[in-house]
Structure 1
Amino acid sequence: MRLSVLDQSTVVTGRTPAESIRESLALARLAESLGYARYWVAEHHNSDSQAGTAPEILIGAIAATTARIRVGSAGVMLPHYAALKVAEQFRVLEAVAPGRIDLGLGRAPGSDGRTAFALNPRADTAADQFPAQIRDLLAWVSGQKLVDGHPFRDVRAQPAGPTTPEVWILGSSDYGAQVAAYFGLPYCYAHFITEGRGAEQAIDAYRTQFRPSAQLAAPHVAVCVWALAADTRQEAERLLTSRLAWRLGRNRGLFEPLMSPDEVAARAFSDAERAHMEAGRSVSIYGTGEEVARQLDALASGLGADEVAVLTTVHDPQARRRSYTLLAEASGLTSAALVAA
C-alpha cells in the first residue's frame, strides 16, 4: 500500500498561523526522508483552524527544498479561479520539479459563503462550471488546444515542458467520483471529512463509470484518512483529545485553533459533549505505529484503495513528526527509503 501525507497547516493555540506554514515545510522534508510517496497541501480560507490558503505557493516552497517526493494540492478549489491561471501556476511548478507535481482539484468552497464571494464574485454559479473548467484545464496543463469553437482555443499556458502535472479529482461525495470517472482521472475520497460515510458508494460509482483516458488506463483510487500513531496507545489516546474537541466545535460550525491535550483536559464539557467526543473516538484511527498501520491496511483493502494519504493533526509538532515516523517504520517505508538512497 502506497502511503502519502495530507497537511492542512493546522493552526494551534499558543503559536501563530505563520509558524504552522513553517512546520509544514519541515514536515515535508521529514516525509521525504521517511519514504512517503506524496506530500499534499490543502486550501482553506478565512479560517482560524487552517493556515494553508495558497497551496500553489506552499507546493513551490516544498518542491524547491525536496528532491524525490511528489508534491501537490489536495486540493485547489477550482471554482474560485480561472482555469488558465491554475494551469499556468502548475506549469511553473512542473518546471521547478519536473515529474513530481500533483494537481488535486476540488469543487467545495473551502470557506464560508461570504469568503467564497470575496474570492470570486460569481461564486453562486461557479461550481456549476466545474466540469467545463476541468476540460479546459486538462488541455492547458498538458499543452493541448482547447475544444473546437472555444474562444480561447489558441491561448497557451506557459511554461511549456516535456512533463505534465498529474491531475486528480478530490471529493467526499458521488459527484466528484463521477467527474473523475468521466475524465479518466485518479480519484481521492476525503474519508477524514465524512468519517468514511459514503466512501464505498463513491468509489463504486467511480470504478463503474470510469472511462480510460490519456492519463489513466484504469481506475486509481486513494483515500485520505485522519490517523495518529504514538509510542503507546495511552499516549495516542491523550493526543487524540485535541482532535475530538476540535471535531466537536467543527460540527457546531466553529473552526478554532487546535487545543493542546492539557487545555482539553482543563475544559468543562457537558455530558452530551463528552458523549459526542466518545463517538468521535470510536471512528478514529489511532494507537501504536503497528496498530495504525494494520487499521489503514484493512481500510484500504476493504475499499479497494490503491493509496492512502494520512492527515495527522496534533498540537505538538514533535508528536506529529513522531506519528508519521512510527507509521513509516511500521509500514516498511523507512527501510525502503534507505535502500533507495
Structure 2
Amino acid sequence: MTTTTRKLRLSVLDQSVSGVGRAQDEAIRNTVSMAEHCEALGYHRFWVSEHHALSTIVGTAPEILMAAIAARTKRIRIGSAGVMLPHYAPFKVAEQFRVLDALAPGRIDMGVGRAPGSDGRTAMLLNRDRNASDAFPQQVLELQAWACGEGVPQGHPGYGIAALPQSATAPTLWMLGSSAYGAQLAAHYGLPYAFAYFITDGQGAQQSLELYRQNFRPNAAGSSKPEATVCVWALAADTEEEAWHLFRSRERTRVDRLTGRFGPLLPPEEATREWNSAEQPHVDALRRDAMVGTAAQVGAKLRALAEELEVDEIVVITWTWDPAAQRRSFELLAEEFALG
C-alpha cells in the first residue's frame, strides 16, 4: 500500500442516522453531541446533511442543526453537506447562513447540492416547480452574491437588496457533487469542491477531481486556487473483528436499498441475513472496498486514497447502530492521525 507524507486533515459528515429501537429525535441530539466530541478530538470541520421523508436519515434541516452546533462549539468549522438548493429561494438561504455566520463568525461552510435528497413526491412538496434544478447554476450565483455580501448586479430583480445581517466575515460556499456536473460547475465558479465518494463507492472520483482542477477559474468571491475534498465512509474499532461486526448494520442497509427497502439501522446482531445470487456480488464488492478495521488499517487506506486523489483533507462518515461505537471510531482515527 502506498505510503504518503502528505499532511492530512480529517473532518466529519454526520447524517443523523436513525436506529431500530431508538427514537428519531435522539439521532438529532446525538449529532449535536458528536459535533462537540469531534471538536474536542481536533477534527477540522463538522458537516451535516439534508434528507427528506427517509426513515434511515432524519436530518431534514441542516441550518437548524448548525445553529445548535454553533452554540455549543468554539473552534471547529460547521457546514452543510448540503443544502439542496433547488428546493429553496437563494435569498432565503443566504439570510439563514448570514445568521449562522453571525453566531459562529468565520466558521461556516455553506455546502450546496442539486440532488433532491428525497423521492419525487417529497421534492414536489418542498418546491412545486418541477424544473427548479434547471436553474441551479443561476441559483448558485445568486446565493454566492448575497451570502458574501456583494449583492446581485444591476438589472436583477433583487438589485440593491442585501441579505442580513452584514458582518466582517461570510460563509464559505462549497459545491457538492458525485458526478462531473458538480465538478465543472465548481471549477467554472471558482468554488471549493467536495466529491461524495461514499455515494458512488469511489466511481468517478478521479475523473471529477481532474476536471475540477484542470478547469478551475480563480474567483475573487470564491477561491484563488482549487480546493477539494472527498467524503468517505469509514469505521474503526479496537479490533478488526469488532469493526467488521459493527459494519453489518451498514452492509444490510446498503444491500436492502438495492430493492428499495429503507429503514432505521439494525443492531449488528440482527443485521445478518442470507444474500441471494443478485446481492452477493454487491456484498463482496462492498466488503472489498470498505474502509473498515483497526485505526491503523483504516488510517492506511485513508492515506493511500488521499495520495491517489491528491487531496489534503478527507471528510469521514460513520454509521453505527450504537452511537458509542461511532464516537469510539472517531476517537481512534483522531489518535491515528494525531489530530489533538
Please, what TM-score do these two structures have when normalized by structure 1? 0.95
Q: Do residues 212 (structure 1) and 218 (structure 2) align?
A: yes
Identify which range, 150-159 or 184-193, moves more after superposition. Answer: 150-159
2:305 maps to 1:304:
no
Once the two structures are TM-superposed, the CA of residue 147 in structure 1 deviates from its matched residue by: 2.0
By how many angstroms is 1:275 displaced? 4.1
Q: Does 2:87 correspond to 1:55?
A: no
1:274 CA displacement: 4.0
Shift of 1:186: 0.3
Partner of 1:260: 267
Q: Which amino acid aligns with 2:53?
A: N
1:198 matched residue in structure 2: 204
- The one-letter code sitting in structure 1 at the alignment partner of 2:327 is R
TM-fit CA distance, 1:161: 0.5
**How far 1:30 moved relative to its partner?**
0.6
One-letter amino acid of the counterpart of residue 227, structure 2: H
Q: Aligned-pair RMSD on alpha carbons? A: 1.0
Q: CA deviation at 1:273?
A: 3.1
Which of 174, 183, 187 aligns to 2:180? It is 174
- 1:85 Cα deviation after fit: 0.4
Does residue 19 (structure 1) correspond to residue 26 (structure 2)? The answer is yes
Greater relative contact order: 1 or 2 (C-alpha under 8 angstroms, separation 6 or more)?
A: 2
Q: Distance in 2 between matches of 1:285 and 1:83?
A: 36
Q: Tell me, yes or no, if structure 1 residue 280 matches structure 2 residue 286.
A: yes
Does the 8 Å CA contact 1:249/1:256 hold for their aligned counterparts? no
1:184 to 190, 208, 211: 190
What amino acid is aligned across from residue 216 of structure 1 in structure 2? S
Deviation at 1:216, TM superposition (A): 1.1
User: Residue 137 of structure 2 corresponds to which residue in structure 1?
Assistant: 131
Equivalent position SS for 1:227: strand
Q: Secondary structure at the match of 1:333?
A: coil
Structure 1 residue 208 displacement after superposition = 0.7
Contact 1:147 1:153 in 2 (8 A): yes
Partner of 2:169: 163
Deviation at 1:307? 1.2
Matched, 1:233 2:240: yes
Cα offset, 1:91, TM superposition: 0.2
For 1:135 and 1:74, the matched residues in 2 are separated by 18
Name the counterpart of 1:337.
none
Whole-angstrom CA distance in 2 between matches of 1:194 and 1:95: 35
Identity, in percent, stands at 54
1:19, distance to aligned residue in structure 2 (A): 0.5
Query: In structure 1, what is the equivalent of residue 325 of structure 2?
Result: 319
Work out whether 1:5 is the aligned partner of 2:12.
yes
2:37 partner letter: L
Q: Deviations over 1:252-291 (max 9, x none)?
A: 22221111110113x4443543443222111110111111
Distance of 2:137 and 2:248 partners within structure 1: 39
Partner of 1:73: 80
AA at the equivalent of 2:99? V
Q: Give the paired residue count.
A: 332
Please, which of 291, 295, 301 is the counterpart of residue 295 of structure 1?
301
Aligned to 1:30: 37
What is the distance in 1 between the residues matched to 2:67 and 2:176? Answer: 20
3-state SS of the aligned residue for 1:263?
A: helix
